[in-house]
Structure 1
Amino acid sequence: MQMPFQLTILGSSSAMPTSKRYPTAQVLNVLGRFFLIDCGEGTQHQIRKNKIGFGRLDHIFISHLHGDHFFGLIGFISTQVLLGRTKDLHIYAHSELQRYTQFQLDFLTMGELGFRLVFHPLNFKKAQVIFDDEKLTITSFPLKHRISCCGFLFREKEKEPNIKKEALKSYRIPIREIKNIKAGADFLTEEGAIIPNHELVIPPAKPRSFAFCSDTAYHEKIIPVIQGADLLYHEATFAESEKAMAKTTFHSTGKEAALIAQKAQVGKLLLGHFSARYKDPEVILNEATAIFPETYAVEEDQVYVVVR
């Protein structure tokens, strides 16, 4: 059974929430580990509603310091205190967020939290690996907005191939040779026959990936970073009729998001961060699908799963 790689939409509105949409927040579940991406107002409510355990969220990624992307953070931290958290909580964000958060904590006279807040400052000049372990790499990359803003790319590490059970038995492969075969080696039998590697292994599934592009104007420099991502979330604040406003505010239209998806050859495009002026983002979606058919307008509580 394949381990999960799924995205849950917690908030899809732009700066002003609506009766149906919260400000930006998403949770990505990679192999049973949960990552919170942006933390607008209402994030805690949405986490509860979607039955995501607070204690499972150890890493928070804040794209930039506009309030609709981080005003839910102090409430989230306060809840962690009430729940008796002891594990470190890692926050990847602009360096100024640490000072701002500490000011709020001091103002609330919370004293010792009971856990460490570990801040990781982002690089807004170039793409940079900010998280790396044996299963996953997370890269931040600069976007084009009114203030410093980063996107995030989550990519699974490539897995080793599996040895075919029938090959183990047929060729009497000793345990000591399995590691070499998984690394790509052929096998020499006792009779002196060379068995090609491709006859011995089952190739691993292609690594899965998700790219999150928060507030940004049309920005082709991100294409090499997000190339081939299975899922691309890209803001689409405006329809083409408001393209001038999109340019002025350093946001994107649905059509522009679709052009990025098309050029980056992604699997699916998810649109969000809709302006409150649109009661229904259908016009934005239609303009995008005309260019990139595999486009979806996200809604709260939707889950997108990547399978192989």
Structure 2
Amino acid sequence: MKITILGCYSATPRTFTNPTSQVLEINNHIFLIDCGEGTQVELRRNKIKFSRINHIFISHLHGDHFFGLVGLVSTFRMLNRENPLHIYGPKGIKEAITLQLKLSNSWTDYPLHFHELTNSDSELIFEDDKVVVRTIPLQHRIYCNGFLFQEKSGDRKLLMSKVLNYDIDKAYYKSIKKGKDVIMSDGTIIPNTELTDDPAPVKSYAFCSDTRYDEDKIPLLNEVTALYHESTFLESHKHLCYKTGHSTAIEAATIAKKAKVQNLILGHYSTRYDNIEQFKDEALTVFDQVEIGDDGKVFEF
């Protein structure tokens, strides 16, 4: 599982910082999460293949999270894209994007599918044989969701040193990896656990931006491999959190601790601060597995 931070600052773009956008590579998928201004430039800078992005997840309709989307949709058209593109986001995102395409006479030549979200409870929004994606309802000034990406468990590992001790036809290998016992011709049953080992542990990633401190989401975050949680403010500006719908680094760390996550990645910093290492310092007073997100930074788990 690989996370590439394309941008992780709040509000407006600056010379050396970008608003929210990131790429998640998980189980042979490449998912784009949020699409602030400058996203396609950062995709190129980080050598992310445009053609492999088939699903885009938008948390909410504040500009620093989706103003780069129509430009990316248009660029896909100019690159002669043929694959369908699926966009998941709050109700209104279809109108916002299609109006711009209409007025600029830039309709896509590829299938463009919008999946508009209105549910205030967590819901399944994507599933295939490898990955499932659910929403994480967040408490912000407008309707907002985070996203939980979870691998599905893979096949069991075949222990050939054990299998070859028996006269088992290769035709049964697939069912063995699926967890089936083997019944020999004389009726003897060979337990699956004798022939296989457990599959690799599944990985999961939770993206939470923007949100006030809210413990209701903790069950959804329980023991995830990595949690990206907004940390717009330091404790010195905690009084701004509720009215703006944001969190402090310590509040993000508190959520991580209570959810027993394995790793916490901070981001969505207010541009009022010159040194983002302060966010890590404050979070470490509560939770000890803290990473500081920054533009261009890559995390692999």
| TM-score using structure 2 length | 0.95
Q: Say if 2:91 and 2:118, in contact at 8 Å, map to a contact too.
A: no
Residue 193 of structure 1: how far off its partner (Å) = 5.1
* Pair 1:16-2:16 in alignment: no
| Residue of structure 2 in register with 1:262 after alignment | 257
Q: Say if 1:124 and 1:149, in contact at 8 Å, map to a contact too.
A: no
Residue 144 of structure 1: how far off its partner (Å) = 0.5
Could you tell me how far apart the structure 1 residues matched to 2:256 and 2:287 are? 7
| Residue of structure 1 in register with 2:70 after alignment | 74
Could you tell me how far apart the structure 2 residues matched to 1:85 and 1:180 are? 39
| Residue of structure 1 in register with 2:160 after alignment | 165
Q: Say if 1:122 and 1:140, in contact at 8 Å, map to a contact too.
A: no
Which residues in structure 2 correspond to 1:215-294 (within 5 Å)?
A: 215-294=210-289
| Residue of structure 1 in register with 2:97 after alignment | 101
Give the AA of the match of 2:18: Y
Could you tell me how far apart the structure 2 residues matched to 1:17 and 1:288 are? 25
Superposed CA deviations along residues 217-240 of structure 1, whole A, max 9, x for unmatched, are: 011111111111101000000001
Residue 189 of structure 1: how far off its partner (Å) = 4.5
Could you tell me how far apart the structure 2 residues matched to 1:152 and 1:91 are? 13
Q: Say if 1:123 and 1:142, in contact at 8 Å, map to a contact too.
A: no
Which residues in structure 2 correspond to 1:69-218 (within 5 Å)?
A: 69-110=65-106, 112-189=107-184, 194-218=189-213
Give RMSD over aligned pairs.
Answer: 1.5
Give the AA of the match of 1:101: I
Q: How many pairs does the alignment contain? A: 301
Could you tell me how far apart the structure 1 residues matched to 2:69 and 2:147 are? 18
Percent identity for Structure 1 against Structure 2: 45
Could you tell me how far apart the structure 1 residues matched to 2:57 and 2:9 are? 18
Residue 31 of structure 1: how far off its partner (Å) = 2.8
Could you tell me how far apart the structure 1 residues matched to 2:12 and 2:192 are? 57
Of 14, 38, 43, which residue of structure 2 is paired with 1:42? 38
Relative to 1, partners in 2 of residues 1:180 and 1:57: Cα closer, same or farther, differing over 3 Å? closer
Gaps of 5+ in 2: none
Give the AA of the match of 2:255: I
Q: Say if 1:234 and 1:269, in contact at 8 Å, map to a contact too.
A: yes
Could you tell me how far apart the structure 2 residues matched to 1:207 and 1:29 are? 14
Residue 40 of structure 1: how far off its partner (Å) = 0.2
Q: Say if 2:27 and 2:131, in contact at 8 Å, map to a contact too.
A: no
Superposed CA deviations along residues 180-230 of structure 1, whole A, max 9, x for unmatched, are: 433434444556654332221021011111100010001111111111110
Could you tell me how far apart the structure 2 residues matched to 1:185 and 1:29 are? 31
Could you tell me how far apart the structure 1 residues matched to 2:208 and 2:296 are? 19
Relative to 1, partners in 2 of residues 1:188 and 1:78: Cα closer, same or farther, differing over 3 Å? closer
Gaps of 5+ in 1: none
| Residue of structure 2 in register with 1:298 after alignment | 293
| TM-score using structure 1 length | 0.93
Give the AA of the match of 2:53: L
Give the AA of the match of 2:28: G
